[in-house]
Amino acid sequence: MLGDDGGAVCANPNDALSRAILFSQLANGAAGPGTRPVIADIRFVQGQLRIIEIYCPEELDDFQKFVDELQTYRSGGA
């Protein structure tokens, strides 16, 4: 799925379109005018951070800065 180069995750993870797609996934799930951004659990981006760390570490610093600026929360539990 990720091949040997990280696949779509490593294809420009720091460009505007990739970030816009991520923002669209961090929403309430409604469609059309009901769509609203949410404060998401940090676990939603940790997988992407790990993939970037492994497959395209040269992109990690910029993406980490972007993630650090997101308003997230850390839920309890496992």
Residue-range domain boundaries for the chain:
7-73
pTM for the full predicted model: 0.79
pLDDT of residue 26: 87
pLDDT band at 66 (very low <50, low <70, confident <90, very high): very high
pLDDT band at 24 (very low <50, low <70, confident <90, very high): confident
H helix runs in the chain, sequence order? 16-25, 43-55, 60-69
pLDDT at 78 over 70: no
3-state secondary structure of 37: strand
